[in-house]
Amino acid sequence: MSAPTKNRKSISPGQIQQILGFVRNIIEELALGFAQVQRVINDPERVAEFKEAIKPLLVKFFARSVGDLALSLDPVDILEAWTQLWQKWDPKGIHNIVVPELPYDSEHIQREKDRGRGFIYLPSQLATVQALADLGKLFPKMQSWSVSGNDDAKKIKNTKDLSGWLSVEMALNMPNPDTTEAGLREIFSQQNAEGKTLNVYTVFGQFCREVLGQYPDIPGYVRLLSSSYDGFVLDADFDEDGYLIVIHNWYPDIHDSSLGGRSVAV
């Protein structure tokens, strides 16, 4: 017994005409669209208008992040990154910060990277002890007595007001742990470097948050050999919310696994 055949729906001539008409309409629409595009292409004024209209979209689409620029080996990229960072941090231009060209080529930047270092920029007008209060205003999350401008903060001293392009350790975790002050000075001397000031450290902390995704030295403290209070070197760290902790009561010969130190090379 043969299997029953399924009823097949036949397409009427009228339906075929409807389908063909539908396809024809699509082709005509496409042809019209291409003709309109061609007219735009052949009209210089409309081409110029189109370019201006899409320029913001293209800039946004192809823009590189500050992090990509800051960690690049190209000195032009690094300059652009720090220009953008200071524009963000000082949007009203109160401190008139103009970031100069980085005076190193890609080979030098690579050598520093191989040593675990990178470049940050601190303008001279924010490098002094008096400018710590300005940094406190630019970065209010720090909330530290040391950047408050109060009487205690005014007792901080810098052995040198470090500024300009500075090579620093890029590690988020505290470098040079379990060292004394004398041990740190010896390490830094061999690296042709010196201890950070509190000014440099505060800016480095903001850089880490912007570019590396978190504040440095959580947990642990780092000695800042170029800043002191009442004869004691400052020790500092950040918490995960950006609060800056600064103390000044550890003796020079104290060493501990939770105490390290950070340096700069000018």
The more confidently predicted of residues 22 and 179 is 179
Residue 264 has pLDDT above 60, yes or no: yes
For residue range 169-193, list pLDDT tens digits in order.
999 999 999 999 999 999 999 999 9
pLDDT score for 266: 82
Segment 44-67 shows an average pLDDT of 67
The more confidently predicted of residues 36 and 236 is 236
Residue 265 has pLDDT above 90, yes or no: yes
The structure tokens 């291409």 sit at: 34
For residue range 147-175, list pLDDT tens digits in order.
999 999 999 999 999 999 999 999 999 99
Helices 198-207 and 75-89, interaxial angle, to 10°?
100
pLDDT score for 3: 39
Q: CA–CA distance from 97 to each of 75, 111, 175 (Å)?
A: 18, 28, 30
Q: Which two tokens stand for residue 41?
A: 């292409």
pLDDT score for 121: 98
Strand partners, 156: 229
Residue boundaries of the structural domains of the chain:
14-60, 65-265
pLDDT score for 43: 67
pLDDT score for 252: 97
For residue range 65-76, list pLDDT tens digits in order.
999 999 999 999
Residue 203 has pLDDT above 80, yes or no: yes
Segment 211-234 shows an average pLDDT of 96
| pLDDT grade for 127, boundaries at 50, 70 and 90 | very high
Strand partners, 260: 222
Segment 68-85 shows an average pLDDT of 97
Q: Which two tokens stand for residue 48?
A: 């110029």
- Cα separation, 162 vs 128, whole angstroms: 8
Query: Exposed e or buried b for every residue in 191-207, given b needs 16+ CB within 10 A?
Result: eebbbbbbbbbbbbbbb
* 3-class secondary-structure state, position 36: helix
